[in-house]
Structure 1
Amino acid sequence: MNNSVPAEPPLPERGRLPFTVKLAYGAGDLGAAITANVTAIYALVFFTNVAGLNPGLAGSVLLLGKIWDAVNDPIVGVLSDRTQSRWGRRYPWMIFGAIPFGLVFVLQWIVPQFDQWGLFWYYVLIGVLFNTFYTAVNLPYTALTPELTQDYDERTSLNSFRFTFSIGGSILSLILALGTFSLLKVPPAQQYLTLAIVAAIISVLPLYWCFFGTRRYAVLDSKSDDTASIPYFEQVRIAFTNGPFLFVVGIYLCSWLALQNTVAVIPYFVKEWMQLRQDQWFTAVIAMVQVVALATLFVWSLVSARVGKKGTYFMGMGLWILAQAGLFFLQPGQISLMFLLAVMAGFGVSTAYLVPWSMIPDVIELDELKTGQRREGIFYGYMVLLQKIGLAIGLFLVGQALQWSGFIKPTAELPVPVQPDSALLAIRLMIGPIPTVILLGGLILAYFYPLSREVHAEILLQLQARKEAERGGAE
């Protein structure tokens, strides 16, 4: 099949991109952000308080789905590297996976009339299907970054647009939830299902905007045939013998695990420790973090252009660590201080979105220099996998900790139970000291990350020299 780009007016060099292309690229992450944020914030509460699962089973549902992802994500990454079509390697996955992605998301928020184990296996099965389609659309999308530009700072700018839509999608999901819970006077099960349907529709459409808005600028003739000749496990070995990639993996996993652990426990922290029982309160706290993260995203992009990615990460993490540690000492009634800490956390969360994803294209080009292959899919596959593992581990740990600490789930007979001191302490530990230690681990890894702007420029020079030598040899 011919993968060459049809004859059109000349494109600019693979550096600076037009604003409309960046906007369309950013839109591709909107649906992933909406569905992931709704899952991260509301899934555990939905399972325990609406579907009626006990906390231990509820926390295990998403973890089992991620065990499947350990197989699913890298395979989709490799398959997208090998895909050949007139649209290139990534776009067919987005085009054909978008609608099933939306439909299966809705099925996660249905409450069938099953017993505990019937509900458990239903949600595990649907979770596996949803994770499959989420990967099918989101992983190839993330792998578009190095195919759109090779410029070191332009990639940071491109990811700024991506995470503008990503964080904006998270905020939009909270607005949709607040509107649904406040205005729709129906039982909670119907509220969640309505929220899922609206979120699914909004999530599917931007994937097509991304396709139509960026396809002319993507490199469609990357070396997919060469990659296909390398066995899967050999590609995994090569990816994980790339030293800088391991640093990025560690940095991202620490950031994302801390974030998802906090997001999962915030509803319980606000309701049970701060004694603010209405869902609007914990939704407002999460919204504050996301709004600040969005507002500071382009500021951090400008800072990164001056001080580099590593320096930017250190600045943001410093603020986030102070905020995270402060939550442990927060007392009921200190509502203003709670929101101040949310603002501080938002500054750090912004860099956690931006910096690791901006590092990955540089790692991919180091791999190309060493091997002569471009394997975006395998590297992005593991990044997407880690993102979802962070979500799953966060939810699983919160569910198990609540179970072990004697958390009393609400029932029709006891809608607002008084929690034992052991459960309250577990909630405070999970929102303060534990994420703080994880974030400090990410800072240590960032300190030793080896690919600076200067090193990346040298990599590009060597790649360019190799390509010119190959062209000369071909002549």
Structure 2
Amino acid sequence: MTENEETSRHSFWTNLSYGTYNILWTIPSATINLFYIFYYNKIVGLALWQVLVIVAINTVWAALNDPLIGWITDRNFKWTRKWGRRFPWIAIGFIPLSLSLIMVFSAPDLPKDGDGFLIDPLPAMLWLLLSLFVYDLFITLVDIHVSILRADKFRTETERRKYAGSWGIFDMVAQSVGMILPPLLVVDIFFGELNPLSYTFMAVIMASIMIIFGIIFVLKGAREDKIIIDRYYSRDYEPLRIFKGLWLVLKQKSFIALYAHYTLWLSATTIMTGMVVYLTTYILPGSDMTIFLALFMVGGLVSIPFWLKILKKFKNNKKIYLIGSLILIVLVVTLGFFQTDIDFMILMFIFGFGNGCIWSIGMPVLYSNVQDDFVVRNAKNQKGILVGTWAVIGLITAFIDEGLITLVFWFTGSNIELGIRLLIGIVPALVLLTGTLIFWKLYPLTQEKVMENKAKLLELGF
């Protein structure tokens, strides 16, 4: 028996409502990636190496904490039959997650020396560390269960490709809000562009938006129906032990290949978008960064139907994802050679169009297929430890970003324009090329294997 791959049991509104989660997840990610380095370096007064130390500590903590959260919470509790296995944790975590964004951008205002650096950086470093701990705890708790529920709710390839459209559109909207609105909120309206209170005010507004869309998602999209809940009780099995589970995750080729590519893709795009703040300050002063970021988002938004149509026609997830990644590498290289505002605007739009392939296919389609692969390989409907391990991706990305930015600016010294151009073009292109080669060589899930896994899921009752 196999599920009908040409139909979906979910309505348009189910796809749409589930897509609203991207507002909740992407806004803090985009806001933090865009501003936290600039904020803690130029506003708070920490040196770049001090920020790197904190990010490194947080990455180590997350490497232990995130898989543990997934392992502890991915099991049936006394409330599971009534409320589901995923919904309670999502409902518990989304408001603290929203409030943690305010904490990140509310560092204490401390005395600085003549160069603008803190005389005593320790309190600010501890604040950043605590803020990242809290943020990581709740975004992991929420995202683990949203990611697993996505794979459980949208089971067939048709459902996943259809949902990918809603996912991509809401993700683009969230990226737009997360990248375009914050710069507007920190300009000289209430407190002044370089006033720390401007960043706190910005974070309060963004957190309020997160809470509103979080409520919408929890009321509809995050609910588990009887079909999904019944699968949690369809088969008895011994739960995975945590260290054995970690070993099974790390030796799964499909996970490692996609994890490596997605981490390095996120690193590349985060470096580039983060440099837009520096670019409009040092190379194109007076330029409006919101226009550049908006064109990047519009390019991605209009590309989603194109990439999904190509995917539907060829029905080969790996091949289309790989082609899109190679095209993106070429587009990234060109960004570092801009001369004026106009050509940078054009390049950002084209870059966004190429980026839409990874955006719309990676998480909703390939990542769900990797989760299926894990369940089939181990004959246990217990994916929390895999998704918890995946959750470390954001911290590893931040560490790579901060490390490369620190290294390049140290290498280029006083030639800040050269450093910015390298970090917008050549450096992220090389990062992305590395991830693409790893994915090409290691990712084993052909379309035939994907369909075989779906049939085995039905045999297992999952």
What amino acid sits opposite 2:57 in the alignment? L
Matched, 1:177 2:182: yes
- Residue of structure 1 equivalent to 2:201: 194
- Report SS of the residue matched to 1:17: coil
Aligned partner of 1:246 among 256, 273, 278: 256
In the alignment, is residue 135 of structure 1 matched against residue 140 of structure 2? Answer: yes
Q: Report how far residue 216 of structure 1 moved.
A: 4.5
**Residue 412 of structure 1 aligns with which residue?**
none
- What is the CA–CA distance in structure 1 between the aligned matches of 2:419 and 2:183, rounded to whole Å? 27
Question: What secondary structure sits across from 1:112 in the alignment?
Answer: coil
Offset at 1:50? 1.2
Alignment of 1:167 with 2:163, yes or no, is no
> What is the aligned counterpart of 1:112 among 104, 108, 112?
108
- Equivalent residue number for residue 91 of structure 2: 95
- Secondary structure of the residue aligned to 1:437 is helix
Number of the residue aligned with 1:452: 446
Please state whether the residue corresponding to 2:190 is helix, strand or coil: coil
* Structure 2 partner of 1:236: 246
What CA distance in whole angstroms lies between the structure 2 residues aligned with 1:465 and 1:127?
Answer: 42
CA distance in structure 2 between the partners assigned to 1:292 and 1:376 by the alignment: 34
Runs of 5+ in structure 2 lacking a partner?
1-5, 111-119
**Residues 59 and 397 in structure 1, CA contact (< 8 A), matched pair in contact too:** no
Aligned pair partner of 2:333 in 325, 328, 331 = 325
1:352 aligns with 2:358: yes
- Post-superposition CA distance 1:429-470 (Å, at most 9, x none): 2222221122222332343432232222222223334549xx
CA distance in 2, matches of 1:426, 1:137: 37
CA RMSD in angstroms comes to 2.5
Counterpart in 2 of 1:373? 380
Cα distance in 1 for partners of 2:292, 2:433 equals 23
Partner of 1:441: 434
Which residue of structure 2 aligns with residue 413 of structure 1? Answer: none
Distance change in 2, residues 1:244/1:322 (3 Å): same
Residues 15-72 of structure 1: per-residue CA shift (max 9 Å, x gap): 4411111111111121211111110011111112211212222343333322221122
Shift of 1:195: 0.8
Matches within 5 A, 1:244-323: 244-272=254-282, 275-278=283-286, 281-307=288-314, 308-323=316-331
Percent identity, please.
21
Contact 1:227 1:373 (8 Å CA) reproduced: yes
Structure 2 letter corresponding to 1:82: R
SS in structure 2 opposite 1:375?
coil
Aligned to 1:9: none
**1:460-475 paired onto structure 2 within 5 Å:** 460-467=454-461
Query: Quick one: structure 1 residues 183 and 119, their matched pair in 2 at CA, closer, same or farther if it must change by over 3 Å?
Result: closer
The 1:55–1:466 alpha-carbon spacing in structure 2 relative to 1, beyond 3 Å, is closer
Q: What SS does structure 1 have at the residue aligned with 2:288? A: helix
1:340 — aligned with what?
A: 346
Match of 1:416 in 2: none
Shift of 1:157: 2.4
Q: Indicate yes or no: 2:26 matched with 1:30.
A: no
Distance 1:228 1:159 in 2: 33
Letter in 2 for 1:195: M
Q: Structure 1 residues 123, 368: closer, same or farther in 2, change over 3 A?
A: closer
Aligned to 1:391: 398
| One-letter code aligned to 1:277 | P
Q: Distance in 2 between matches of 1:312 and 1:43?
A: 34
Structure 1 distance, partners of 2:241, 2:167, is: 32
Segments of structure 1 that go 5 or more residues without pairing to the other structure are: 1-12, 407-419, 469-475
Contact 1:239/1:245, CA 8 A, preserved across alignment: yes
Cα pair 1:34 1:169 within 8 Å, conserved:
yes
SS, match of residue 105 in structure 2: coil
TM-score, normalized by length of structure 2? 0.87
Q: Which residue of 1 aligns with 2:421?
A: 428
State the SS of the aligned residue for 1:150.
coil
The separation in 2 between residues aligned to 1:209 and 1:227, in whole angstroms, is 35
What is the CA–CA distance in structure 1 between the aligned matches of 2:215 and 2:276, rounded to whole Å? 34
Post-superposition offset of 1:373: 0.7
For 1:137 and 1:269, locate their aligned partners in 2 and report how far apart those are by CA, in whole Å: 34
Say which of 155, 158, 166 aligns to 1:150. 155
Counterpart code for 1:317:
S
**How big is each residue's C-alpha offset from its partner over 1:305-334, in whole Å with a ceiling of 9 and x where there is no partner?**
122222322342233222211123333xx2
Q: In structure 2, do the counterparts of structure 1 residues 467 and 304 end up closer, same or farther at CA, with 3 Å as the change threshold?
A: same
Judge conservation of contact 2:34–2:179 (CA < 8 Å) in 1: no
State how many pairs are aligned.
Answer: 437
Counterpart residue identity of residue 249, structure 2: A
